[in-house]
Amino acid sequence: MRMGWAGDQRWVRVRLYAAGILFTGLFALLAQRAFVLQVYEAKKLLEMAEDQYVKDIELPSRRGRILDRNGTELAASAEVDSIYVNPRQIAAAGATDETSRALARLLHMDRRDLAIPLSSRRYFAWIKRRTLPEEAKAVKEAGLRGVFLAKEPRRYYPNRSLGGPLVGWAGLDGKGLEGIELRYDKDLRGSPAEVPGLRDALGREVLSSGIADAPPQGGHDVVLTVDKFIQYRLEKALEEGVQKNRAKAGVAVALDPRSGEVLGMASVPTVNPNDPTGARDHGARNRVVTDPYEPGSTMKVFSIAAAVEAGLVKPDDKWWCENGKYAIGSAVIHDAEKIGVATTTQVLAESSNICTAKIARRAGRDRLDSMLRRLGFGAQLGIDLPAERAGLLRPVKRWGEIELATISFGQGMTATPLQVASGYATIANGGTLYRPHVVRKVVDERGRTVAELAPVGQRILDKATANIMRQMLFAVTQKGGTGEKLAIPGYPSGGKTGTAQKVDPLTRHYSTDKWASSFVGFAPLDDPRLVILVMIDEPVGSHYGSAVAGPVWREVMIDALRYLGVTPTVDGLPPPAPAAPPALAAIAAAPPALVALADPDDDEGDSDDGSAADGYLASRDESGDAQEIPDFTGMSLGETLAAARRAHLPVEVTGSGKVIGQSPGPGRAAEGARCRVSLAPPG
């Protein structure tokens, strides 16, 4: 009996010990696992947990504006509604088909386009971004389950195609894609804010915090050197020139030779940045910087300058121009007209290829190469725009006699229109090559300047050489010169025609019917304020630069000088001041809200606003209250247009210069009133 009881006790103790060891082991494993979870993997597990219920909510920033030199908006942003859905929430309610039908009707969409986002197993899907106000209102009022609205900035270009290839455009994601929008994207875009928000199992926002502490950083405004009026005149005249000559394309650029500032830059075909679809397909690009061409006779001034600078040639030296035909080795050079004896000045004025080649031979290939490279040919000028090309200037060691001759009159090499215009600006200002630029400064949301582009220049020619060449270019616009019909009464000017054969891409030889016709010049002669280059690509019919590009140059130069208030420098009445162009006037005077919220696809009325007879600036006051008329006295045309726009006031403008009178005067006026403003040059 006793032995049995003792045995049972021992067995109980064994089982207790075994159970203790087992539980101790299990506890140790549990402690070890807890230690791993709480210490070693704590950070990873926390991130996984937060990923389930904490979502970063991105608050997009407003993209900065692009302004002309007078503060007129060329690109702006406004907050609009975008539509998104929670497909899981809609599916859980069994409302997928119903929601699809409703959204297709309210947003004018095809139901097939809604199938993918609504059938998604995710918590979020975009339906339509940056909708029209009436569409957003209709969706909001419908109160559809699982359908939400979010504010996003939308880019607007109030002037439609004005400056299109230059300004460029931004995509739906707010990133710049072309032009200034691309080059200055980092400054314009700003920084979005990301704040943590709690979302439920269906992905709906429950709680967010930190919004007040971390607002998005708005983009900076970019202020251009471009003048909206000069840009408009440049584009309008260029477009008319291309159409009149049934040409393939055209480019034009206006520079301030005193600083390298670009006052206008135009390309045809152009593009409306509000809807750039297919722009590249139909050739819309900023050809002023992207398309090198053989410039032809506009290069002769630099060839002659190389010889003048070396003291090898004087303006009154005489040359035998071979009566229009001259052999160099196996090649024969021709002049457009037979020229016999001519002075150096006449060689340039009458545009002799033969005598320019003789002058270049006297200067030598090294001097000519040095001159061209100092002026920036064969290299990028460094303008603050994307896609600038360098053009082609072969190494001088590869120049033979015929290459020296052809390069001297602008064939056998290529240059961008900007390079040619910049070279003429160097002569116009007395010998300093300024780096061309399109931006003056960058300012923050408070209007404080955060970056400023100061003129960067380097002396390339001595003043004496530049003055001699300026006077020789003046002869081009005088009697006997190829540009004599382009002279401007009251404003002596200098310039040069260019008529260059183009290479046929199929035959690789010069074409007999494809030409690049150009004119580049500056005014006034003694203190040039403006350099303008115009090139018409492949005109049909007449192809001479004086007849094709010259009239465009003259038209813009006349209007621009009067607009800038440049006083005539010689006796003789200047041309009448133009009335404010109706299309530009309508754009300038329209209230920003009316323009910005217009349908970007609606181009109706682009050129029909206002009256061509009186320069009426089409605008309207929809407030229903009395008008407040500003005091325009002493303002320039640009300042007048800006003030009128701010006041939502239609005005009629006559003259140019500064405002000397207005009717009615400043003060309150009845609704619908408009003001007549008279301008006159200073003095």
Q: Which of 297, 351, 517, 619 is catalytic?
A: 297
d(CA 583, CA 644): 16
Strand boundaries in 279-422, DSSP class E: 318-320, 325-328, 331-334, 341-343
User: Burial level of 166, CB count in 10 A (0-12/13-18/19+)?
Assistant: buried
> CA 554: distance to chain centroid?
24
Whether 472 contacts 465, CB under 8 Å: no
Strand boundaries in 556-683, DSSP class E: 627-629, 651-654, 658-663, 667-669, 675-680
Strand boundaries in 316-467, DSSP class E: 318-320, 325-328, 331-334, 341-343, 432-434, 439-443, 449-452, 457-459
Buried (b) or exposed (e) across 379-397, using 16+ Cβ within 10 A? eebebbbbebebbebeebe
d(CA 314, CA 363): 12
Return the structure tokens found at 132: 């029209």
Give the strand order in the sheet containing 530-537: 261-268, 249-256, 530-537, 510-523, 494-503
Q: If we measure between CA atoms, which residue out of 447, 661, 492, 530 comes closest to residue 256?
A: 530
Q: List the beta bridge partners of residue 628.
A: 668
Buried (b) or exposed (e) across 563-584, using 16+ Cβ within 10 A? bbbbebeeeeebeebbbbbbbb
d(CA 254, CA 519): 12
Q: If we measure between CA atoms, which residue out of 309, 263, 266 comes closest to residue 288?
A: 266
d(CA 253, CA 549): 12
d(CA 145, CA 147): 6
d(CA 370, CA 549): 29
Return the structure tokens found at 250: 């055209």
Helix, strand or coil for residue 55? strand
Q: What count of residues does the chain have?
A: 683
Whether 133 contacts 597, CB under 8 Å: yes
* Residue 297 annotated among the catalytic residues of the structure: yes
User: Burial level of 121, CB count in 10 A (0-12/13-18/19+)?
Assistant: exposed
Whether 453 contacts 436, CB under 8 Å: no
Whether 659 contacts 634, CB under 8 Å: yes
The two beta strands, 675-680 and 651-654, are parallel
Whether 228 contacts 68, CB under 8 Å: yes
Q: What is the 3-state secondary structure (H, E, C) of 77-120?
A: EEEEEEEEECHHHHHHCCCHHHHHHHHHHHCCCCHHHHHHHHHC
Residues forming the active site: 297
